[in-house]
Amino acid sequence: MKFNLQKISEFFIPVNHIRPNINSVGHTLSSSKREFLWILPFISFAIGYFCLQFFIAETIVQTPNLVGKDLLQATKMSSELKLNLRIIAEKEIADAQPGTIIKQNPLPNASIKSHQSIFIVITKLPAPIVAPTLLDKNLDQIEKICRDKGIKNRIYYLPTHHPAGNCFAQMPLPGEILEAKKISCYISTGNQSQYLFPDFSNLALEEVIEFLQQQNIACDVYHKDQKIVRPYKQKFIVSYQKPLAGTLITPSNKLYVQLQVH
Output the pTM of the full model: 0.40
* Number of DSSP helices (H) and strands (E) in the chain, helices first: 5, 14
pLDDT, tens digit (0-9, with 9 covering 90-100), for 204-228: 999 999 999 988 889 999 998 899 9
Element (H, E) at 54: helix 15-55
**CA–CA dist 65, 58 (Å, integer):** 21
Q: For the chain, which domains are there?
A: 60-124 (3.30.10.20), 139-188 (no CATH), 195-261 (3.30.10)
**CA–CA dist 23, 10 (Å, integer):** 24
Res 32: pLDDT = 57
pLDDT, tens digit (0-9, with 9 covering 90-100), for 167-207: 999 999 999 988 778 999 999 988 767 788 899 999 999 99
pLDDT, tens digit (0-9, with 9 covering 90-100), for 217-261: 899 999 988 999 888 888 999 999 999 988 878 766 678 999 999
**CA–CA dist 260, 262 (Å, integer):** 7
Give the CA-trace dihedral at 37, 39, 41, 44, to 10 degrees: -110
